[in-house]
């Protein structure tokens, strides 16, 4: 069976995976030729219509759920605070998922959806499944009901699965694009090694230890929950520090109208400063490279301390795989702290879950 065939249900439904983070929604799906496509949209959502419209008068990125309008766009002025424990089963998350589906051009297409949950939400401390929360999350996305304003085609979700972040990133490392096990995975199993996934998201950092062992004549692979866990540190923490440092620099420059604690910097400007260092704002170009380095270094050190306190000897792992948005943002700092780490990208969870679904057929 080809990958393209595996990407459908009886040739009718398309697999669509959404790693629904606090900072961004990262999506993965198969195109018509069976190739893996990825995309991300900022997790910026505003209650009501933000007043964004095309030159032709059409409202942009507006969604309706139970009579309430929402706007999903990087240009929204007053984004909702979604950084809370109930986000996976929230209306905002469901709307943002629909926004990602819209941007992927899959409205009107029958969809076999899969979404992710943070490791700490998917498993209980003893390693058993957190069945109640998993099912509430699944039902949230399966409920649908989100209408895309101004579009004839609408979402068509046929089924929803929920899988754990971190473990999905392991699938990305362990599998090729056709869903077959990789050479790295085969070598890990040959030497009975362990892999540590460091998944740095918007709000949290998940550590997932995957171990292999012999059981009679068989080789097994599974999770070591004693060396896995979650720390509340991520990309958004760096953004908070960076925004404060940016404000101080802008105010010190005497930019007119930018004074006091109420002064705001648009979310897309902060995002660009975090990724590039240089931005255009208030009529001039700014270099926030030093502020960016300071903000990232502090969070990277917190993450590094958490790794060493949780797994004790990270150098003993067959591989350390750093993924998520933080794999890009904090790479410069974590490379010095974890010289044996392999850095992937922010799509590892979404891409890995898609590979897992392909392998399952």
**Going by CATH, does the domain composed of 182-233+302-346 fall within 3.10.450.350?**
no
**Sequence spans of domains, the chain:** 3-164, 182-233+302-346, 235-295
Strands (E), the chain: 8-9, 13-20, 24-30, 36-42, 45-47, 62-65, 68-72, 110-117, 147-148, 156-164, 194-200, 205-215, 218-223, 229-231, 278-281, 284-287, 319-323, 341-343
Q: Show pLDDT as tens, one digit a residue, over the chain (361 residues).
A: 233 334 444 457 899 999 998 889 999 999 888 899 999 999 999 998 766 666 566 778 999 999 999 999 887 878 899 988 899 999 999 999 999 999 999 999 999 999 999 898 999 988 999 999 999 999 999 999 999 999 999 999 999 999 999 999 999 999 999 999 999 999 999 999 999 999 998 888 999 999 999 999 999 999 999 999 889 899 999 999 999 999 999 989 888 877 766 678 888 899 899 989 999 998 899 999 999 999 999 999 999 999 999 998 888 999 999 999 899 899 988 988 788 899 999 999 999 999 999 998 7
Q: What distance in Å separates the CA atoms of residue 341 and residue 303, rounded to the nearest whole number?
A: 14
Q: Is the dihedral of CA 241, 242, 245, 247 positive or negative?
A: negative
Q: What distance in Å separates the CA atoms of residue 144 and residue 130, rounded to the nearest whole number?
A: 23
User: Do the domains spanning 3-164 and 182-233+302-346 agree at the CATH topology level?
Assistant: yes
Eight-state DSSP code of residue 182: P
Element (H, E) at 246: helix 235-252
Q: Which CATH architecture has domain 3-164?
A: 2-Layer Sandwich (3.30)
């Amino acid at each position: 069976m080809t990958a393209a065939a595996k990407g459908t249900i009886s040739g009718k439904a398309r697999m669509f995976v959404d790693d629904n983070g606090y900072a961004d929604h990262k999506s993965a799906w198969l195109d018509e030729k069976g190739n893996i496509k990825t995309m991300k949209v900022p997790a910026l959502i505003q209650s009501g219509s933000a007043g964004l419209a095309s030159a032709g008068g059409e409202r942009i990125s507006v969604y309706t759920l139970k009579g309430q309008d929402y706007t999903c766009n990087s240009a929204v002025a007053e984004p909702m605070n979604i950084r809370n424990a109930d986000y996976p089963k929230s209306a905002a998350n469901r709307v943002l998922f629909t926004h990602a589906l819209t941007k992927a051009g899959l409205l009107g297409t029958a969809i076999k959806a899969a979404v992710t949950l943070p490791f700490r939400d998917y498993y209980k401390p003893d390693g058993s499944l957190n069945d109640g929360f998993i099912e509430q999350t699944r039902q949230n996305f399966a409920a649908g009901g989100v209408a895309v304003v101004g579009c004839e085609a609408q979402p068509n979700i046929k089924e929803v699965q929920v899988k754990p972040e971190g473990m999905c990133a392991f699938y990305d490392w362990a599998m090729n694009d056709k869903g077959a096990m990789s050479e790295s995975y085969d070598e890990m199993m040959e030497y009975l090694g362990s892999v540590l996934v460091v998944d740095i998201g918007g709000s949290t950092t998940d550590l997932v230890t995957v171990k292999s062992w012999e059981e009679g004549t068989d080789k097994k692979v599974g999770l070591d929950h004693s060396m896995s866990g979650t720390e509340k540190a991520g990309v958004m923490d760096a953004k908070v520090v960076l925004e404060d440092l940016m404000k101080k620099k802008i105010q010190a420059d005497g930019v007119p109208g930018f004074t006091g604690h109420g002064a705001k910097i648009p979310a897309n400007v902060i995002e660009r400063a975090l990724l590039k260092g240089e931005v255009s704002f208030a009529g001039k170009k700014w270099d926030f490279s030093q502020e960016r380095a300071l903000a990232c270094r502090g969070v990277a050190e917190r993450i590094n301390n958490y790794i060493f306190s949780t797994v004790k000897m990270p150098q003993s792992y067959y591989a350390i795989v750093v993924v998520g948005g933080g794999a890009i943002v904090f790479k410069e700092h974590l490379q010095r702290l974890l010289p044996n780490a392999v850095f992937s990208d922010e799509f590892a969870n979404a891409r890995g879950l898609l590979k897992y679904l392909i392998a399952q057929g």
